[in-house]
Structure 1
Amino acid sequence: MNTFNAEELQQIEQLKAKYPDPKAAIMPVLWMAQKKWDWLSEDVLKYVGEVMNLPSAHVQGVASFYTMYFKKPMGKHHVQVCTNVSCMLRGGTELYKHAQEKLGIGNNQATLDGNFSLEEVECMGACGGAPMIAINETFYENIDKAQFDALIEKLS
């Protein structure tokens, strides 16, 4: 069974103490869980609810609403390509299609070797540097197909 260790449980208590309503700490606690177990399985979501003393439906609702929480296993390198207005106008849609071809997968899918997953996303807040991608938590602006390919080759 997945469980937090004593240090992590202490961090959760500190997070809960930061907010007037402890349930407001659900987002950072879900993030902690995802960092620890790579994705949020049904068992993990249930466990987070128990730790947070929250109904399962609340935890599920938060995890389902926000796309940053993975409800299935993703690749070691999670690639996000922005296709919102600024990125779209500067080649984001074409870059996303190229990423699908390069990786051989579709949206929210992982490669067979588990090395990469791909996600089409809305604005990541870097409209001035469009088109933008993120790989895990590293952001890359003004990316073209050749630069994308070089990043993928480096991580392969």
Structure 2
Amino acid sequence: MPRLPAPDYPADVRARLDADAKEIIGRYPDSRSALLPLLHLVQAEDGYVTRTGVRFCAESLGLTTAEVTAVSTFYSMYRRKPGGDYQVGVCTNTLCAVMGGDAIYSALREHLDVGDGETTDDGKVTLEHIECNAACDFAPVLMVNWEFFDNQTVESAKQLVDDLRQGQQVAPTRGAPLCTHRETSRILAGFPDERDGAVEATGGAGHASLVGLRLAKGEAPQPRVVSPRGGSPKAPPQPGSEHLSSHDAPQQTSASDPEHPAGPTAEEGE
């Protein structure tokens, strides 16, 4: 049985979205470049990228719905199903994981009684694990609607989601004030951020991330070289004299792969 075409938006909604889409498309020399912000626009309208939203983007840009769907399903910032007002992402990549991210994620799944990508019954919080928040200096890190919450613990994370569900005001560690997922999507579509203090706020790197920059500018003391236990301090290596790791150094045999041993190379056998 053939699939029915996606329905269109009501006339008043369509007129409003058409005006917004015209503004977005006008920013680009090639209209197709407007697809990503248009997807954020329809997500702001519906809460996720619906079939109706895909149809709207396709018609606005002269694309097929297949082309729009291919893009919307590639990027994780576009939802494929309804979600909560607050998308809580727990970094479970290596550093955050060993610093407590795995424990936080497991605790929140139990605390909220949801699985990965699922939403609480009240429609407030969608929980997911993400690969990296690009804020390793502050591990373990959570993001709520793409705003940073640094140096989290199991208890602070539980308190955070409880506050979100109860409608309490929650302030990110750094960056702009928190807003709902739909409001965030509209901002990502390129429309003005009207939150109080949003213009003055900065979402840039925190102090720990700037240490390397200050070192390079000579604004901070040089790092201390830590010697091995019982050894004497070593001078910092001179440029070009660094010892290659086993991954970088030339290997003459495949001794690291016991399943596929190799004999000596021709050079060794001579």
Instruction: Give the structure-1-normalised TM-score.
Output: 0.89
Counterparts in 2 of 1:135-154, with a 5 A limit? 135-154=144-163
Distance 2:141 2:92 in 1: 9
Partner of 2:89: 80
Alignment correspondent of 1:27: 36
Provide the secondary structure at the position in 1 that maps to 2:26: helix
Aligned mates of 1:75, 1:66 — CA distance in 2: 18
State the structure with more CA Rg. Answer: 2
Distance 1:23 1:154 in 2: 40
Letter in 1 for 2:126: S
Q: Distance in 2 between matches of 1:42 and 1:131?
A: 36
Please report how far the alpha carbon of residue 8 of structure 1 lies from its aligned counterpart in structure 2 after TM superposition. 4.0
- 1:121 maps to 130
Correspondence 1:112 to 2:121: yes
Letter in 1 for 2:43: Q
Deviation at 1:40?
1.1
The answer on 1:94 being equivalent to 2:103 is yes
For structure 2, list consecutive stretches of 5 or more residues without a partner in the other structure: 1-7, 166-270
Candidates 20, 27, 38, aligned match of 1:11: 20
**Residue 52 in structure 1 maps to residue 56 in structure 2:** no
| Alpha-carbon distance between aligned partners in 2 of 1:53 and 1:108, rounded to the nearest angstrom | 32
| Residue 51 (structure 2) pairs with residue 42 (structure 1) | yes
How many Å apart are 1:99 and its aligned residue?
1.3
Residue identity in the other structure for 1:52 = L
Greater Cα shift, 26-35 or 38-47: 38-47
Decide whether the 8 Å contact of 2:125 with 2:164 is kept in 1: no
SS at match of 2:105: helix
Task: Return the structure number with greater strand share.
Answer: 1
Residue identity matched to 2:75: Y
Deviation at 1:90, TM superposition (A): 1.5
Q: Output the amino acid matched with 1:68.
A: M
SS in 2 for 1:134: strand
Gapped regions of structure 1 (runs ≥ 5): none
- After the TM superposition, list the runs of 4 or more consecutive aligned residues in structure 1 that deviate by more than 6 angstroms: none
Structure with greater helix percent? 1
CA distance in structure 1 between the aligned counterparts of 2:109 and 2:59, rounded to whole angstroms = 38
Matched residues in 2 for 1:146 and 1:118: separation?
A: 16
Q: Which moved more, 1:72-81 or 1:84-93?
A: 84-93
**1:64 is matched with which residue?**
73
Q: Which moved more, 1:23-32 or 1:109-118?
A: 109-118
**Deviations for 1:62-118, whole angstroms, at most 9, x for unmatched residues?**
110001101100112221111122212321122111111111111111122222211
